């Protein structure tokens, strides 16, 4: 495929500063409550991620951080929007439950979104990805650790797009966005071993030309990337992944997000895409 085809599309994102970021509970294997977080460093790194997205021409909305919600910096988990409809989140763990309210308040006041409150547990873009140009527009959805598979059917009813359920099997890759990413409107990259054998077959059937990642890429949070269709923003540890996306014709842009990794997330976790 010609590299000239990798065209960026202007995006709108929602981010939340890590003003109250700590690791005071452990709900994924990356979180270690005995190691202190460097709050100043976290904020600096977050600012440089935001500046990177803005410099690339994108719009970044900011959600105010709320005290008592230390994971709120992972704004991807707060909702999932497709074509102006927002499917709200419902968090698996009580510690994060109120984040859904903050996100809802954002959509209720910003623009003309149709917000649908969920009945089933789901963690927004943590477990949902949208590919507008694949098969006419499909949703990929993860389950196994956080999102309830019942939410996949609910999302399909709310959004009117086919939802493909994929089972995650490795606790280190507990959200879909730690194991798979959209590189543009139709192409993905993923780490096959994070998925059940049957889900691997589904992915191979749907995406025969996917960029395949290995365990080192996934452990470096290399799949936890944000792409505008040309520029692929990923963290500085993800060297191998940067090389793979470059070989596929994209332009890697590395940012240091070492502090956010302590909570079990990286670039994608900190960035929700708004699809009006
Ligand atoms: N500490 C957060 C949690 O375990 C990290 C969330 C990461 N977000 C993501 N989109 N994968 O819920």
From first to last of its 276 residues, the chain has per-residue pLDDT tens of: 555 579 999 999 999 999 999 999 999 999 999 999 999 999 999 999 999 999 999 999 999 999 999 999 999 999 999 999 999 999 999 999 999 999 999 999 988 999 999 999 999 999 999 999 999 999 999 999 999 999 999 999 999 999 999 999 999 999 999 999 999 999 999 999 999 999 999 999 999 999 999 999 999 999 999 999 999 999 999 999 999 999 999 999 999 999 999 999 999 999 999 999
Asked if residue 3 is part of any domain, the answer here is: no
Cα dihedral angle (204, 206, 131, 142), rounded to 10 degrees?
Answer: -60
Asked if residue 108 is part of any domain, the answer here is: yes
Asked if residue 1 is part of any domain, the answer here is: no
Mutate to test the pocket of ligand 1, among 263, 270, 273 (most ligand atoms within 8 A of CB): 263
Asked if residue 4 is part of any domain, the answer here is: no
The token pair that represents 234 in the structure block: 């990923």
Asked if residue 139 is part of any domain, the answer here is: yes
Asked if residue 192 is part of any domain, the answer here is: yes
The token pair that represents 74 in the structure block: 């992972």
Verify whether residue 175 is a known catalytic residue. Answer: yes
> What's 5's DSSP letter?
G
Domain count, the chain: 1
Contact 263, 23 (CB under 8 A): yes
Active-site residue, selected from the candidate residues 58, 187, 231, 269: 269
Distance 3 CA to ligand 1 centre (A): 33
Asked if residue 2 is part of any domain, the answer here is: no
Residue matched to tokens 């497709």: 82
Mutate to test the pocket of ligand 1, among 28, 37, 46 (most ligand atoms within 8 A of CB): 28
> What's 204's DSSP letter?
H
Question: Residue 155's closest CA among 63, 79, 250, 244?
Answer: 79
Residue matched to tokens 């709320």: 66
CATH of the domain at 46: 3.75.10.10
Angle at 183 between CA 276 and CA 190, to 5 degrees: 120
Domain residue limits at 268: 9-274
Q: Could you tell me which residues are beta bridge partners of residue 142?
A: 166
Asked if residue 128 is part of any domain, the answer here is: yes
Is the distance from the beta carbon of residue 177 to the nearest atom of ligand 1 less than 6 Å?
A: yes
Contact 76, 124 (CB under 8 A): yes
Is the distance from the beta carbon of residue 75 to the nearest atom of ligand 1 less than 6 Å?
A: no
Distance 1 CA to ligand 1 centre (A): 34
């Amino acid at each position: 495929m010609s590299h000239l085809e990798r065209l960026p599309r202007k995006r709108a994102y929602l981010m939340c500063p890590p003003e109250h970021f700590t690791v005071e509970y452990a709900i994924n294997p990356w979180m270690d409550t005995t190691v202190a977080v460097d709050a100043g460093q976290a904020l600096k790194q977050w600012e440089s991620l935001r500046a990177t997205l803005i410099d690339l021409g994108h719009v970044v909305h900011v959600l105010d951080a709320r005290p008592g919600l230390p994971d709120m910096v992972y704004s991807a988990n707060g909702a999932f929007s497709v074509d102006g409809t927002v499917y709200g989140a419902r968090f698996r763990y009580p510690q994060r439950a109120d984040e859904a309210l903050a996100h809802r308040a954002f959509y209720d006041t910003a623009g003309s979104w149709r917000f649908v409150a969920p009945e089933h547990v789901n963690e927004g873009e943590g477990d949902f990805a949208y590919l507008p140009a694949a098969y006419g527009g499909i949703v990929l959805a993860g389950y196994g650790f956080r999102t309830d598979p019942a939410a996949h059917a609910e999302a399909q009813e709310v959004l009117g797009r086919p939802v493909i359920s994929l089972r995650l099997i490795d606790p280190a890759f507990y959200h879909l966005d730690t194991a798979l990413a959209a590189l543009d409107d139709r192409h993905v990259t993923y780490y096959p071993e994070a998925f059940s054998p049957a889900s691997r077959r589904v992915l191979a059937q749907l995406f025969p030309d996917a960029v395949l990642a290995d365990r080192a890429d996934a452990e470096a949070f290399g799949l936890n990337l944000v792409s505008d269709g040309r520029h692929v923003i990923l963290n500085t540890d993800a060297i191998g992944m940067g090389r793979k996306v470059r070989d596929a014709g994209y332009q890697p842009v590395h940012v240091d997000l070492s502090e956010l990794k302590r909570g079990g997330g990286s670039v994608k976790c900190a960035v929700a895409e708004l699809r009006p």
